[in-house]
Amino acid sequence: MAALSPMQTLAVKPPQQYKLKELKGHSGCHVFLCERGNTRFVKKVSGAAGYAHRLEQQMLKQREFEHAWIRKPSVYEFGTENDLFYFTMEYVNGVQLSTFISRNTVRDVDPLIDQLLTFVRSNICEVAADFSTPISEKLWGISSTSGFQIDRYVQYCMAFDWRAIPTGYCHGDLSFENILVHKSNLYFIDFLDSFIETPYLDLSKLLMDILVLWSWRFENRRPIIKNTHIYDIVLSQLKSREVEIVRRFLVLNLLQILPYANAHHNSLFVQDALKHLAVKFNI
Ligand SMILES: Nc1ncnc2c1ncn2[C@@H]1O[C@H](COP(=O)(O)OP(=O)(O)OP(=O)(O)O)[C@@H](O)[C@H]1O
Ligand SMILES: [Mg+2]
């Protein structure tokens, strides 16, 4: 058979790309599982044109992330489609860490928690920063629209000495929903540019799940006992000042969600979580 001329080669069409299904997400972005030929991949598309910059930052952060034992889906392509930014990435055929914890025993869960905590703690640097101004600005910007009283929680965060907080790398949104488990490996997804860079912010996002069961908010069955066990592991690794820092960040995380949660049915979940912490932390 004669070899193809360059013109004929160009005429060969790449396989068609199909969207198989929309993966569950809770933000404004759309996440699709797609297939082209025999290859599956994930496509994340910004929900509104205004979110393009954040999604691009997320993609860059994911692309740059390198670690000895924590993986991330490789980023393939990015661009703009119908004025919306998108990027495509490797499909990780695993489960969210929250699902993994629900389905497995502590014997399987503990090594993963250990890997996670070692990762976050190894990011803590000697260099400290004064976060008083960015924290105050965040707190001033928070308002409750549902009649729920937030003053005591704002005060709890405000009255803390934020002047010398250790800095370091931070994933930005390290909830169990954004950690996938595949063949006993952890994969990070959904990186976020955070307003301050400190591993304690990542620790506080982990506590959103461990203490408040955030990633199980839409489920009836929540693994409370397993998470109590995980909380004991976390506490055994933190000094008392570190515990105080992450507790404040945890309350701040919940306060930040409150205005958005009001519009959805998880508003009561956030309020209950804050009330629960008020008792637990003596706020
Ligand atoms: N590369 C991937 N492989 C397999 N599943 C994925 C992948 N990326 C996302 N998912 C699934 O889709 C869900 C939603 O994705 P993601 O966390 O990126 O979006 P989100 O939380 O809706 O968006 P946002 O960036 O606004 O927080 C994930 O929790 C995960 O279950
Ligand atoms: Mg997510």
User: For residue 75, what are the β-bridge partners?
Assistant: 89
Residue 275 has pLDDT above 50, yes or no: yes
The predicted structure's pLDDT at residue 21: 75
| CA 220 and chain centroid, separation | 22
- The C-alpha atoms of residue 179 and residue 135 are separated, in whole angstroms, by 26
Class of domain 95-280: alpha beta
Can 17-90 and 95-280 be said to share one CATH topology? no
User: For residue 102, how far is its CA from the centre of ligand 1 (angstroms)?
Assistant: 19
CB-based burial label for 131 (10 Å; 0-12, 13-18, 19+): buried
Mean pLDDT of 117-138: 97
- Of all protein residues, whose CA lies closest to atom 18 belonging to ligand 1? 190
Which of 1-5, 55-59, 128-132, 261-265 shows the lowest mean pLDDT across its residues?
A: 1-5
Is the CB of 46 within 6 Å of ligand 1?
no
| pLDDT tens per residue, range 237-258 | 999 999 999 999 999 999 998 8
The Å distance, Cα 189 to ligand 1 centre, comes to: 7
Residue 184: the pLDDT is 95
Q: Residue 193 pLDDT more than 80?
A: yes
Q: In the CATH scheme, what is the code of domain 17-90?
A: 3.30.200.20
Amino acid residing at 72 = K
Q: Does any ligand 1 atom lie closer than 6 A to the CB of residue 172?
A: no
Name the band, by pLDDT with cuts 50, 70 and 90, for residue 22: confident
Residues 6+ apart with CB under 8 A from 192: 54, 58, 61, 171, 172, 173
Residue 123 Cα distances to 166, 167, 188, angstroms: 10, 8, 15
4 — pLDDT class (breaks 50, 70, 90): very low
Helix (H, G, I), strand (E, B) or coil at 78: strand
pLDDT above 60 (res 162): yes
The protein residue whose alpha carbon is closest to atom 10 in ligand 1 is 23
The answer to whether the CB of 73 is under 6 A from ligand 1 is yes
Least confident of 28-37, 45-54, 217-226: 45-54
CA 73 to ligand 1: nearest atom = 1
Average pLDDT over residues 142-146: 76
Amino acid sitting at position 245 = I
Assign 2 a pLDDT band (cuts: 50, 70, 90).
Answer: very low
Q: Which atom of ligand 1 is nearest to the CA of 93?
A: 4
Q: What is the pLDDT of residue 266?
A: 77
pLDDT digits (tens, 9 = 90+) for 217-242: 989 999 999 999 999 999 999 999 99
| Per-residue model confidence (pLDDT) at position 260 | 75
**What are the structural domain ranges in the chain?**
17-90, 95-280
Mean pLDDT of the chain: 91
Which numbered ligand comes closest to the C-alpha of 27? 1
Structure tokens at 195: 């307003």
Query: Given pLDDT bands bounded at 50, 70 and 90, which one contains residue 262?
Result: low
